[in-house]
A = this chain, B = another copy of it.
Amino acid sequence: MPTNRSWVLAHRPNGMVQETDFELRESAIPKPEAGEILVRTIYCSLDPAMRGWIVDRPSYVPPVRIGEVMRAGGCGEVVKSNNPGFVPGDLVTGMTGWQEYCLSDGSGLMAMRRLAPGTDLRASMGVFSGAGMSAYFGLLDLGQPKAGETVVVSGAAGAVGSVAGQIAKIKGCRTVGIAGSDEKCAWLVDELGFDAAINYKTENVAVRLHETCPDGIDVYFDNVGGPILDMVLAQIRMKARIVLCGGISAYNAEVPPPGPANLMMLVGMRARMEGFIIIDYIPRFPEAGEEMGRWMAEGRLKARDTIVEGIEKAPRALQMLFEGANTGKLLLQVGAEPAG
């Protein structure tokens, strides 16, 4: 008899998230009550924000409770439905969590959105998920890049950064990516069309920024925070916009490290730094999806993902995210894609 394996939060992490912070449980596959659907998980998304969800402090969503299934975005297939909005076979996306099967009554945090039949599930978890949407709205709404300007993106080979940099190119900007390996840098320049890429693990980022952005930096799309943000601040141009999408460099720190010493560059350069949370843009996802879909069809926007297979690898996959082991979107494959 098939079972439902799920990872629950065992205790709150101290520093880098560990496999032992979670516990793998096995139980009967749940039965949907009236109004509920049972979803078989196919992919789970690994996102830096998940590190924040397991810390017990006020945030934009309540923290995952100890003993609760680990929260995760994902997609799957409806296998049973007691909800008139869904039929078995429907592809859906929502907060599946780290589990092989989940129940949803279609509301709240557990709301499920139906995907069109034949949807490319991996793309739905990347470019068309919160990651791609963060790139789109963060860059365009907050960064407001203009043709001819210089845009720098950190975490540039990740799910968000790789899309942000490509959109900057589409908008006619000189685009420089910062990433953590020569292979990632080559991908950015050779396949995605970035003008330059900097390997922050082997190169002097300040010097290379100076070389690759000789006129200074107009827009910085920041996924990492930390020392790189500081080095960018030292080289911003007048009226620069810094988009704070995240600060992955410190997500596993128990105490936040000091901020950028060059912060007062914002004064002399009349510059702006602004943060955002992508859930505020959910009502506008369709317009972004349509435009990015067109760019993909035209070959101007490319996506890559890194797949880790098996529900049992979920905590390890989360660690890989913080180690920068992925290129493009990092996904956990929990179940098989539907045949055909």
Contact = CB atoms under 8 A, between A and B. Distances in A.
B267 A59 contact: no
A262 B253 CA distance: 13
A293 interface: no
Nearest to A242: B273
A262 B259 contact: yes
Contact of A273 (B225, B230, B274, B280): B274
A255 B261 contact: yes
Given A273-B274, A277-B268, A258 B256 contact: no
A260 interface: yes
What copy number does this chain have within its complex?
A: 2
B263 A270 contact: no
Interface in A245-302: 245-247, 250, 255-277, 280
A266 B277 contact: no
A262 B280 CA distance: 22
Interface residues on A, range: 20 to 34
Q: Which interface residue of A257, A259, A263 has the most chain B CB atoms within 10 A?
A: A263
A262 B256 CA distance: 7
A212 to B, nearest CB: 19
Interface string A14-26: 0000000000000
A268 B225 CA distance: 14
Contact of A250 (B246, B259, B264): B264
B264 A247 contact: yes
Contacts of A59: 268
A228 B269 CA distance: 22
Contact of A275 (B230, B257, B258, B266): B266
Given A258-B259, A259-B230, A259-B258, A270 B277 contact: yes
B225 A263 contact: yes
A73 B276 CA distance: 40
A265 B57 CA distance: 12
A263 B244 CA distance: 9
A280 B275 contact: no
A259 B260 contact: yes
Contacts of A265: 275
Contacts of A274: 266, 270-273
A190 B335 CA distance: 68
Nearest to A270: B276
Nearest to A259: B259
Contacts of A269: 275
Nearest to A263: B259
B230 A264 contact: no
Given A259-B230, A261-B256, A273-B273, A267 B245 contact: yes
A267 B271 contact: no
Interface of A: 52, 59-60, 225, 230, 244-247, 250, 255-277, 280
7 contacts: A230-B259, A244-B264, A247-B263, A258-B259, A265-B275, A266-B273, A273-B273
Given A264-B275, A266-B273, A267-B275, 8 more contacts: A247-B263, A247-B264, A257-B261, A266-B275, A267-B277, A271-B275, A272-B274, A272-B275
